Amino acid sequence: MLCKNGITITNFRCMNSLIRGLSSSSCNNNTTTTNDIISNNIISNNITSKQLLEEGKPMNLFSAINQALDIALDSDPRAYVFGEDVGFGGVFRCTMGLADKFGRNRVFNTPLCEQGIVGFAIGLAAMDNRAIAEIQFADYIYPAFDQIVNEAAKFRYRSGNQFNCGGLTIRAPYGAVGHGGHYHSQSPEAFFCHVPGIKVVIPRSPQQAKGLLLSSIRDPNPVVFFEPKSLYRIAVENVPESDYMLPLSHAEVIREGSDITLVGWGAQLAVMEDACKDAETEGISCELIDLRTLIPWDKETVEASVSKTGRLLISHEAPVTGGFGAEVAASVIERCFLRLEAPIARVCGLDTPFPLVFEPFYLPTKNKASNCTFVLL
């Protein structure tokens, strides 16, 4: 049931026993469909962060993730959450209390093998279940790269749409955290943006994380969902306690402006918002856009903004060479070339392994973004 490319099946014997039991029970009692779930919840291209903030209670990001997983498990008996240390809450506590509430057959630990975790998840999703797999740190997603790229992403295509593993969602905390060094700080989103057949989603805040994660879990395609771990506890805002979803592949204009467009995603949005405030003190009006979904991304929103401002700055934590910002820049050049008033700029991580003591020099900081904004004007 796991994928065929060299996984040691004996290491996952207990998980195989579980999946055989799930396949019969979940398929025979599958009275709740994704369409039923979606029809009862908010999923609107026009819903704004302001509307969401007007209801709910203060919540940090890891609590919002926990609440989204709770809702996913409660609303769909086919949903399962698993990964390293997930059973006792995970290293970031995102799965706290779920095993006690929903049972160890639906929320459980796995062996320390990322390739096996994702291979198992693909098999579970292929049998019409909602497989929500956690990779403990995005830095360790690389052993599962073959399973994601060569199996999950191609599952539907190679069968001529007869089979799919669209119920697969892979969660992974990414990015700088202040003391993670080169094995706990990476931003690997660009690797997966090159792969047709999967979606890549990165939220910037608690209410975005909850709504986007529920949409990812219920989307009929495999999704890699990167969570900004530096914001797990420090990012707090009002989050509705109800079941709601935010649309994938729809960027959000966080701040409207007329002089320059700034584009980013995830934790970098807070840095860029501070840069916008600095620019405003100098009389520069910045329009700030959160892509939210990187693949497939919302080209139309970015194009409309750049056509208005004539300038574009893209910022992300990942190294500048080959980062997803290059794809955004290339697309804007193709679509808005005659409207550009200045070269497109990128403020990104450096082309080095992620450092430890030199992290402040590596990161695309507020001052770097602000200075680049002044240069473009």
CA distance 126 to 164: 6
**How distant, in Å, are the alpha carbons of 85, 102, 108 from that of 69?**
16, 11, 13
CB atoms within 10 A of CB 144: 24
Is 182 catalytic? The answer is no
| For helices 206-218 and 61-75, angle between their N-to-C axes, nearest 10 degrees | 30
Which residue is catalytic, options 84, 114, 134, 359? 114
Q: Pseudo-torsion of CA 147, 150, 155, 157, nearest 10°?
A: 160
- Catalytic-role residue among 134, 184, 237, 287: 184
Strands (DSSP E) contained in 151-213 are: 168-174, 199-201
Task: Tokens 């001052």: give the residue.
Answer: 367
H runs (alpha helix) in 61-128: 61-75, 98-102, 114-126
Yes or no: say if 236 and 267 are a contact pair by the CB < 8 Å rule. no
To the nearest 10°, report the CA torsion of 107, 58, 43, 86: -10
The token pair that represents 131 in the structure block:
């497989």
Nearest C-alpha neighbor of 201 from the set 210, 90, 363? 210
Question: Cα(130)–Cα(108) distance, rounded to whole angstroms?
Answer: 14
Render the burial of 204-222: b for 16+ CB within 10 Å, e for the rest.
bbbbbbbbbbbbbbbbebb
Q: Which amino acid is at 52?
A: L
Phi and psi angles of residue 2, each rounded to the nearest 5 degrees, phi first: -75, 160
Counting Cα atoms < 13 Å in the Cβ hemisphere of 152 gives: 33
Please say if 250 is a catalytic residue: no
Angle, CA of 167, 170 and 175, to the nearest 5°: 155
Q: How far is it, in rounded angstroms, from Cα 205 to Cα 59?
A: 10
Q: Which residues are known to be catalytic?
A: 114, 184
